[in-house]
Amino acid sequence: MSYGIPSVEPSAQVPVCPRHPDRPSYVSCQRCGRPACPECQRAAAVGFQCVDCVNETKRTTPAVRTVYGGAVTEGKPLVTFGIIALCAVLYVLQWLIPGDEVYQNLAFATVYATPEYGVFEPWRMLTSAFLHSQGFILHIVLNMYMLWMFGQALEPLLGRIRFLAVYILSAIGGSVGYLLLTAGYVPGQPLTGVVGASGAIFGLFGAMLVVQRHRGGDTRQLWVLIAINGVIGFMVPQIAWQAHLGGLVTGALCAAAIAYIPRGPRQHLLQFAGLAAVLALLAAATWYRVVGG
């Protein structure tokens, strides 16, 4: 003896699933009333809804956003972990690829922002932020720890795209700060390359400071953290305090462009216009240093 649905087509009186006409379905969607087979049923607050109604609700329901306009996301801060992973991969490649090729092709020095020397490679102002010193492992460890700490706080608040924009602009701002506050390249002398995420990390310091003030939070611990790290930059040799300062100012400007834009239908447009203005300011400062400075 066998049990189950007969292989013959159901009669017209038997309700069938619209998506699977060969399946009799005795459960109706609570929203549209159409039959839905077990594969097409989705649990709702009361009973079930069909998959079509669920998808339609997702399309018509506005995305939940943070106070700063970013889409609310659940789970881990993916951008933060992605940046950490990229830095880790490049650090491993620095050891594996012979001839110091990774450093030679991605590190930043003032000469690479000066076209007159024939090696104009401005992208190094960003790529250098993903490299770290091979001779001092705490360089990458401490930077990635700070990125993990501040990324977990800022990325959910700002949203992934805005957080990534703040980080990238702060990395560039660190290189611009180093360019502005360092003596120009002297032909014949050895190049001194700059690497490290410190400028971008200081940008997160500045961004968090602005966000905390905007939210009415206590900023004293942040000021202490910034002061301690700033003093270390002056006391320890081979630390580019200029990049720290440039990143800090850039991160604060980026966060201000995001946090102090009034909420409304044009919030996103105005925020990204503000971020574009920060990028334009960095480009203008670079041009002034190279051409007029």
Distance CA 236, CA 70 (A): 38
Burial grade of 30 (CB within 10 A; 0-12, 13-18, 19 or more): middle
133 in catalytic set: no
Of the candidates 84, 87, 127, the residue with the CA atom closest to the CA atom of residue 104:
127
Distance CA 167, CA 172 (A): 9
244 in catalytic set: yes
What Cα–Cα distance (Å) separates residue 28 from each residue in 33, 36, 48, 253?
A: 5, 6, 7, 54
| Residue-by-residue DSSP string for 200-259 | HHHHHHHHHHHHHHHHT---HHHHHHHHHHHHHHHHSTT--HHHHHHHHHHHHHHHHHHH
- Please, which residues have CB within 8 angstroms of residue 176's CB and are 6 or more apart in sequence? 125, 246, 250, 282, 285, 286
- Please, which residues have CB within 8 angstroms of residue 222's CB and are 6 or more apart in sequence? 205, 208, 209, 212
Q: Which of 25, 170, 175, 198 is catalytic?
A: 198
Distance CA 164, CA 225 (A): 22
Question: Which amino acid, 3?
Answer: Y
Asked if residue 73 lies in contact with residue 65, where contact means CB atoms within 8 angstroms, the answer is: no
Distance CA 65, CA 130 (A): 30
Catalytic (active-site) positions: 198, 244
